[in-house]
Structure 1
Amino acid sequence: MRADTDSTFDELDGSGSASSGWDESARPKRRGRIVLLAIAAAAVVAVACTATAIVVQAGERPETDKPKAPKETAEIIRQTLQESKTAQGTLGYDGANELGSGIPGTVTSVPAPGTQIGLGGGLFSIDNVPVFLFHGAVPVWRSFETGMSDGPDVQQLEQSLAALGYFDETPDQEFDWDTKDAIMEWQDDKDLEETGTIPMGRIVFAPGDVRVGELVVKVGSPAGPGAPIIKTTGLNKLVTADLKLADQALGVVGNAVTVRLPGGESATGVIASVGVPTETEGEGGKKTVVIPVTITLDDPAAGGSLQEAAVSIDFPSESRPDVLTVPLGALLAVDGDTFGVEVVQSDGTTKLMPVTTGLFAGGLVEISGDGIEAGQKVVVPAL
């Protein structure tokens, strides 16, 4: 067969074509197409190999070359862990009251809100004559004059006159010559008519010094029996709050609390009084029963210049003394029933150690377990 084939290709005419009629021009085109296909296939394989090499190279990057995130740690501390419940309250002044005068007339002067008025000071003026502050729990209900019956209001009057330096005897409930003489000395110093008597309304009794909180009337308004002229408070700041009925066990007189003030500051205080269950109306007209409590601040100046402000109060509930504690973030769930902490060893490595949890409070958790000791460092994963 090969001899016949070669002879066929050797029999060419003058134009270079085989005498048998074979189109020799198609042959090189076919070879070119085969060559191109082979090159393209090789290129695809080369790209695939290159991509594979890149992937393999990236995947084979040594573990030690990877950047490691820094580990935050905290110390295991032995301390008293205190749980508390928080209630909302109001910072204000004690002894809110309304004061007026039984003297009919026209209000001719009033003090500015915020003014502090002490024993013997003028509260306001009626017909241009001051009404004075005396100390006492019993309100004024009559005039003071010779022949009046004995009573605790007389003793209050004498105690105030003694504190002001006008009464030298032992205060009692009897209005006598010593009482009248002390009144006349006081009237002389105040440029009042020296009658030895005090008409009803010329003085007002309050338990102590007062602070003017609000004006009820303006200058020029009429004054008369039972009509308040100013609203006053005491000078000491206090906090009031309502405890839920379910939390009434937290309201114990003498218990210490923490008051969270505006601006992030805090102050300590003591529960001074606990009221009786009171029904209040909340949002949507829903009625609830609360326990009102009053708290005095350990440092009266802790409230600064705040006249009134919303605060929150932490009432201590459960307490665990002398326990090991870590931040809550250090606690790891080992499985559904077990917790652990990652303890830093002396060589810098860490070891996951199982722990038993106790009280959770204030972002801390009580822990215990074999090998768990105060002073150890535990890993706290960064958030």
Structure 2
Amino acid sequence: MTAPPTAPPAPTSRTTSPVPPGRRWSGRLAVVVGVLALGGAAGLAGYSVLDREPVESRPVAAALPTRPVTRSDLVNSVQVTGRLGFAGSYRLVGQRSGTVTWVPRPGDVVGRGERILGVDLRPIPLLFGSVPFYRPLAPGSEGADVRQLERNLVELDHADPDDLTVDDSYTAATARAVRRWQEALGVDETGRVAPGDALVAPGSVRVGTVDPLIGQPTSPGAPVLTGTGTGHSVQVDLQLSYRGLVRVGQAVRVQLPNGRTVDGKVSTLGSTAEVESGQGPTTGTAAQAGGQPTGCQGTSCPATAPVEIAVSGPESQLGGVFEGQVTVTFPAETRRGVLSVPIEALTVGPDGAFAVVVVDQAGRRTVPVRPGMFTAGRVEVSGEGLAEGSQVEVPA
């Protein structure tokens, strides 16, 4: 049985005209563009097309911070470790026979004219100099030890400089000054000086260890004590590759364990100290004394030169730190009056060369530069279109 024919569609009141395929795609594109435009406008307004609620804004790239190009002196430096301690090392011996009746305590500081030993109840004072009192001195004596004695008598106010001329001759004026000194000590006023009447050191002594015990007999040449000076110095084992950067009298900076920084000056620059094994020398170096690495790789160690640095300024600047590991900064090279920027400002231009991005009223532009000396945080730069005060981008 054959199905009945399908009825034709009912006529409608709308009439359409045929649309070419290309026109159909154009219409669809217009609708899509219109929707996108509407969505973009809604996004700019900050609301959703559907529910009109606020939506999260898209992040906007922030401008990079800028820093000025500066003109100044740049100093390239070398930092090495060392050990802070008291300057000088003294070992004093006596020149008198008798029984020890008084000794100082470790840590005491003995200055010029102060008692450093007692023998048979006689105080033995400390005088400054380099020649021990090894012989009797009396009017008519001549020599460097006489000059040393007279200089100390003047410094101790036992002699009037207008009355006593400091020279190599022991005169009647010298004898008068000696008697005043003996009166102050409470000993016989003979006007003469016997061997061992005083001990001699280059300066004030901080007592370390004391050899004799009270009541123990002593004799000429017997050890009295060991000690140090009262000033401070830093001992450094300097690698030979840096030796050419150091000279006696050179100013340096010393960073202490407490963070303070004090001035120092190179006082001695020693000869080469060869180190042949990773065990280090048996005498001990400054680095080993500080418990620091010696720079050895396996059994190979670099040759070093000992450097002593005198710490300038009063002891109060040390903030209570008298010994310990420190960092010494030696200035290696100085570039005066050069332009520099923070190292982070360096970038690479399209041609692969170094450049910086300059920001001014005209906008941003890339300026090729030639880098020079690098220091802590800054680099010397030169190039066309770069001037002092220009602002350059520095990534945070």
Report if the CA contact (8 A) 2:123-2:185 is conserved.
no
Aligned with 1:83 (options 76, 84, 106)? 76
2:117 aligned to 115, 124, 138, which one?
A: 124
1:139 aligns with 2:139: no
The answer on whether the counterparts of 1:83 and 1:319 sit within 8 Å (CA) in structure 2 is yes
Q: 1:142 to 1:2 in 2, by over 3 A?
A: farther
Q: Amino acid of the residue matched to residue 210 of structure 2?
A: V
What is residue 292 of structure 2 aligned with on the other side? none
Q: How does 1:12-161 map to 2 (within 5 A)?
A: 65-69=58-62, 71-145=64-138, 150-161=142-153
Q: Does 1:373 align with 2:387?
A: yes
Contact residue 273 and residue 303 of structure 2 kept, 8 A: yes
C-alpha distance after superposition, 1:70-91 (max 9, x if no partner):
6333221111111111222233
CA-to-aligned-CA distance 1:43-89 (integer Å, 9 cap, x gap): xxxxxxxxxxxxxx9xxx88982143563332211111111112222
Match of residue 212 from structure 1: 206
Equivalent position amino acid for 1:373 in 2? A
Which structure's residues are more often helix, by fraction? Answer: 1
Q: How many residues align?
A: 326
Distance of aligned partners of 1:115 and 1:335 in 2 relative to their CA distance in 1, 3 Å threshold: farther
Shift of 1:114: 4.2
For 1:1-383, what aligned pairs fall within 5 Å after superposition? 1-2=1-2, 65-69=58-62, 71-145=64-138, 150-167=142-159, 168-208=163-203, 210-217=204-211, 219-220=213-214, 222=216, 223-280=218-275, 283-285=278-280, 288-301=302-315, 302-334=317-349, 337-346=352-361, 349-382=363-396
Letter in 2 for 1:189: A
Pairwise CA distance, 1:213: 4.1
The 2-side partners of 1:298 and 1:378 are apart by: 40
Q: Which has the larger radius of gyration?
A: 1
Q: Name stretches of at least 5 consecutive residues in structure 1 with no aligned partner.
A: 4-56
Q: Give CA deviations for 1:90-125 in whole Å, capped at 9, x if unaligned.
A: 333333212232224444433344433332111132
Distance 1:160 1:241, change over 3 A: same
Distance 1:194 1:328 in 2: 74
Partner amino acid, structure 2, of 1:327: P
* Structure 2 gaps, min length 5: 4-38, 45-55, 281-299
**What is the CA–CA distance in structure 1 between the aligned matches of 2:375 and 2:215, rounded to whole Å?**
57
Q: How far apart are the structure 1 equivalents of 2:254 and 2:185? A: 44
What's the CA shift string for 1:308-366, capped at 9, x where partnerless?
A: 2322222122222221111111212336841222222326x533332221111112111
Instruction: State the TM-score, normalized to the length of structure 2.
Output: 0.71
d(CA) in 1 for partners of 2:180 and 2:152? Answer: 13
Taking a change above 3 Å as real, the CA distance of residues 142 and 304 of structure 1, as seen in their structure-2 partners, is farther
**Equivalent pair of 1:78/1:324 in contact (CA under 8 Å):** yes
3-state SS of the aligned residue for 1:262?
Answer: coil
**SS of equivalent residue, structure 2 residue 355:** strand
Indicate the RMSD between aligned Cα atoms, in angstroms. 3.3
Aligned-partner SS, 2:327: strand
